[in-house]
Structure 1
Amino acid sequence: MSGPPASGGSAGSPRLGRLDALRGIAALLVAVDHSSYSFLAEFRAQVMPQIDIGRYGVMLFFLVSGYLIPASLERRGCVRCFWIGRAHRIYPLWAVVVGSALALNLVGVAHLGTRFEGRNPLTVAVAHTTLLQELLGTPSVVLVLWTLSYELAFYLLVVALFTVRLHRRSATVSVALGALAAVSATAAFVPPASALTSAVGAGPLVALASSALVFAVLCGSSGRSGLRVPGAVAGGVLALVLVSFNGTVPLWEGLVILAVMFLGTAIHRAESGESTWPRAARTAVAVVICAVGSAYAYGDTAPFARRGWITAFLLAVLTFGAALALRRRRIPRALTWLGTVSYSVYLVHPVLLAMSDGVIGRSRRDSPVLEAVFFAVLLPLCALTHRFVEVPGLARGRERIRRISRGSGGNLFASGGH
C-alpha cells in the first residue's frame, strides 16, 4: 500500500470497505503528486508550497497500515504465517514493477538517471530484495519503494513487540516515538542521512543488515521459543537502528512515520474494545503535537516545505478521523474498487510516468487532457496487474498458510505464536 501495502479488504465489511476507500484516496493522491511533474507543472508550483500532496497520501497509507497490520498478526497468532502473508502480498507486484523499470531503462524508453553510477550491482540487488534499500543507503529503482522500507521496519517492530508480549502497548509506543522525534528535531547533533553507510560502506552494511533480517525472520518465525524471542528482538533492534542512523528522510520524520503507524494501531485497539477512545484520542493529540512541532522546529527545512508538510500531515490525520466518524455510511463502490487496486496504482504509476517522460517528455504548462489520459491508461492497467499478479500471489500465500495450519493440527501457536 504499503504506499505502503496493507492487507486486502472486502467491500462486504463496512470497516474494510472504509479502509479500502482510504487506500484508494491515498494512492490517487500520490499518483496525482507525481504526475503533476509531467502534466501539471504550473498547478504544482502553486499548490505544493501550501500542501505536499504526496506526503498527504503517504501519511494516510501509513495510518491505514498501522490500523491493519498488527491486527492481522494478532488474529492469526502466528509469526511465520504473518511473514508468509506479507511476502505474498508485496513481492509479486514488486518483482514485476522493478523488473519492468530495469527493462525499460535497458532499452532506453525510461531512464533511472545517474543514481546507481559507481554502485555495486550485487549490493543494490540485495538491498532491494530485503526491501530495506532506503534504509541501507541505496537509492530505490522506483522512487516510491522508499515507503516499503519504513513499512518493513514497522513490521519488524510489531513482530518484536508481539513476541515479547508488549504488543498491546501501541499507544505508549506511539507517544514515545513521537516524543523522540520532537527531541531529535531540536537536538544539537543529529546523525546525517545514511550515517552508517558513510561509516562502514554500503557493501558491508547491506551484508550485515541482510544477515540480521534473515536471522530475525527465520528465528522469529521458529516454533522453538529459544530462537523465537532473540530473532524477533533482533529484528526490532535492526529496524530502530536503521531508521535512526541510516534513513534518507530526517531522523525526526522517520520516527514520526513509525509513531503514525502505531497511532493507527492504537485507534484499532480502541475501535475493537481492547483500549478506550479517550486513550486513543490522547495518543492522537500527543503524536500530532510532536509531529507538527518537529516539522516546525527542524532547522534544515525551508519554510514553504515545512508548511506543505504540516498541512499534508494534518489533512491525513483529519481524513482518517473523518473515515472513522463516517464508518457507518455507505462507501461508494468506485472508491472501494480504487482501494482494491491501490497497491498497483502506487507501484505502477511511476513506471508509466517514466515511459511517458521518455517518449513525449514533460509539459512546461498545465495539460489537464494529458493528465486525464494518463489516468485513463493507468487505472485499467492496474486492474490487470491486480487481477493477474496480486490476486494469484495472495492465493498462493493463503494456501501456504492453510498448509501450515493443517500441519500444526490447527494450532498456529506451534508455528511461532504465543
Structure 2
Amino acid sequence: MSSGETAVRNRIEFLDAVRGVAASLVVFHHLMVNISPEYRWFGHTFFDPGRIGVVAFFLVSGYVIPLSLRRGTQNAFWIKRFFRLFPVYWVAFALYFAVAHKSISDAPLWVWGMNFLMLNGLLGLVSILPPAWTLSIELLFYIQSSTARLRGVLDRTVHFGWLWLVLFLALAAGSRALEKDLPLTLPLLMFCAALGHSLYLRDHGGSRIWRYLLGAGLVLGPVGTYVRGHDGEWAPLTYSLSFILGLCLFLVFYLLQARSVPNALKWLGGISYSLYLFHITITHTFHDLLGLDGPLYFMVGAAASVGIAHLAHRYVEKPFNRLGHGLSRTRIKAAIGASSS
C-alpha cells in the first residue's frame, strides 16, 4: 500500500473513531439520565456528554462532506446522501412511534410531515424522534456546501464559519434582551462544520484558516453562552464546556490520525448513525415500558442499543448505501456518455 493510500485510510479510520465515540457518548447520556439524579445534576451543572458527541459529529461532517463533493457530481452526491440518511431514519422513526406513540405530543399533520422530511430542526419544530433534531442542521450544511460546489467556490464556504459565529453571538444577545430562548445551537453547529472543513483544507492544501477559526470558537463560543445566560435548561458553563470538550474530542483523534484505530472502534463508528437513531427507542422501551432501572437497565440498554444498531446497519443502512452508490455510478456514466456524444 502506498503512503498516499495509507494516509487516506488513516483519515477514514480516524473519522470512524470520532463517530463511534460520539455516538457512544450520546447513548451513555440518555441511559444515565434515566437512572441517576446525581448524573442529571452533573450534566446540568458541568458538561453534557451527549452534547459533546453532537459537536464532534458536526466536525466530522465538516471534514468529510467537502471530500465527498469533490469525488463526483452533484447528482451522485445527493443520491448517496439520500440513501445514506433517509431510509434508516424512516425505519427508526416508525419503530419509535410504534413503542412510544402514547408519549408523543399530538402534533399537527404538517409537523409530522416536516419531521418525515428532516426539516423540523430548521423550523424550530418538535422532534418526534428525539435525537433527530440535529439532522436538519446536517442537511443545511449539505445544501450550503453543495450550492458552493455548484458555483465552484466550495473551499470559500469555510469563511461562512465567521458568519455563523456572528449569528450565534447575535442570537445570544437577542436571547438576553428579549428574555426568550432563541436557536443558538444551529449556528454554533454550523460553525463546527466550518471548522471541520478548515481542517480538511489544512490536510489538502496547507490552509491555515483553521487556527483562526479554532481560536475564535474557543473564545467566542463561551462568550456567547455567558451573554445569553441561563435559559432554564443550559447553564453557561454547561453549554460552553460541552462545546469545548466536543472540539477536543475531535482534535485528539485528528492529531492521532496517523495511528491505527482498534477494530472495535472502527466497527462502532460504522454503526454510529444507526446507534444514534435507534438507541432512544431502546431506552424508552426498557425504562418507561418495562420498568428496568439501575445497573441492569444500563447494561441491558447499552447492549440492546448496540445490537439493534448492528442489525439496522447490516440490513437497512448497508443495502440502501449500496443502492445509492449503484445509482450514483449510473448517473455518472450517463453524464459522461452525454458529454462525449
Query: TM-score, normalising length from structure 1?
Result: 0.74
Q: Which residue identity does 2:241 align to in structure 1?
A: T
Q: Retained in 1: the 8 A contact 2:49–2:242?
A: yes
- Aligned CA RMSD, in angstroms, stands at 2.6
Kindly provide the CA deviation profile for residues 307-340 of structure 1, in whole angstroms up to 9, marking residues without a partner as x. 1111111111112111121111121111111100
Cα gap change, 1:282/1:127 in structure 2, threshold over 3 Å: closer, same or farther? same
Match of 2:71 among 69, 75, 84: 75
Gaps of 5+ in 1: 1-9, 194-248
Alignment match, 1:405: 332
What is the CA–CA distance in structure 2 between the aligned matches of 1:64 and 1:13, rounded to whole Å? 15
Match in the other structure for 1:45: 41
Aligned match of 2:254: 324
Shift in Å, 1:295: 1.0
Residue 171 of structure 1 contacts residue 283 of structure 1 at CA under 8 Å; is this kept in 2? no
1:160-204 CA distance string (max 9 Å, x none): 2222222211332112221232233224887898xxxxxxxxxxx
Task: State the match for 1:136 in structure 2.
Answer: 123
Please name the residue that 2:285 is paired with. 355
Indicate yes or no: 2:79 matched with 1:84.
yes
Distance (Å, rounded) in 2 between the aligned partners of 1:323 and 1:413? 44
Cα displacement string for residues 52-106 of structure 1 (whole angstroms, at most 9, x for unaligned residues): 1111010011110111112201221x21111111110011111111111222245
| Partner SS for 1:141 | coil
- Tell me if the contact between 1:40 and 1:368 (Cα under 8 Å) persists in the aligned partners: no
Equivalent of 1:103, from 72, 90, 98?
A: 98
Superposed CA deviations along residues 182-232 of structure 1, whole A, max 9, x for unmatched, are: 233224887898xxxxxxxxxxxxxxxxxxxxxxxxxxxxxxxxxxxxxxx
- Tell whether 2:280 aligns with 1:292: no
Change (3 A) 1:280 1:389: same
After TM superposition, the structure 1 = structure 2 runs for residues 7-406 of structure 1, keeping only pairs within 5 Å, are 13-76=9-72, 78-105=73-100, 111-113=102-104, 115-116=105-106, 119-121=107-109, 123-187=110-174, 250-273=182-205, 275-276=206-207, 278-301=208-231, 305-361=235-291, 363=293, 367-406=294-333
Q: Is the 8 A contact 2:165 2:187 kept in 1?
A: yes
Task: Quote the Cα distance in structure 2 between the aligned partners of 1:397 and 1:385.
Answer: 17
Structure with a larger share of its residues in helix: 2
Contact 2:20–2:265 (8 Å) recurs in 1: yes
1:360 counterpart letter in structure 2: L
Q: 1:112, 1:362 → 2: CA distance?
A: 18
Q: Deviations over 1:127-165 (max 9, x none)?
A: 123211122343122110100011111111112222222
Distance 1:60 1:250 in 2: 22
Deviation at 1:47, TM superposition (A): 4.3
Long gaps (5+) in structure 2: 1-5
What letter matches 2:135 in structure 1? Answer: L
Contact residue 31 and residue 298 of structure 2 kept, 8 A: yes
The one-letter code of the counterpart of 1:252 is: L
The 3-state SS of whatever aligns with 2:153 is: coil
Q: Which amino acid aligns with 1:380?
A: G
TM-score scaled to structure 2, two decimals? 0.90
How far residue 413 of structure 1 moved from its aligned partner, in angstroms, is: 12
Post-superposition offset of 1:271: 0.9
2:3 counterpart residue number? none
Counterpart code for 1:61: F
Specify whether residues 383 and 81 from structure 1 end up closer, same or farther in structure 2 by C-alpha distance, changes over 3 A only: same
CA contact (8 A) 2:286 2:297 kept: no
- Report the CA distance between 1:376 and its aligned residue: 1.6
Q: Secondary structure at the match of 1:307?
A: helix
Provide the rounded CA distance (Å) in 2 between the counterparts of 1:304 and 1:400: 44
Q: Structure 2 CA distance, aligned partners of 1:409 and 1:310? A: 48
Q: Which amino acid aligns with 1:138?
A: L
Q: Counterpart in 2 of 1:229? A: none
Separation in 2 of the partners of 1:379 and 1:188?
38
Write the distance in 1 (CA, Å) between the matches of 2:91 and 2:21.
23
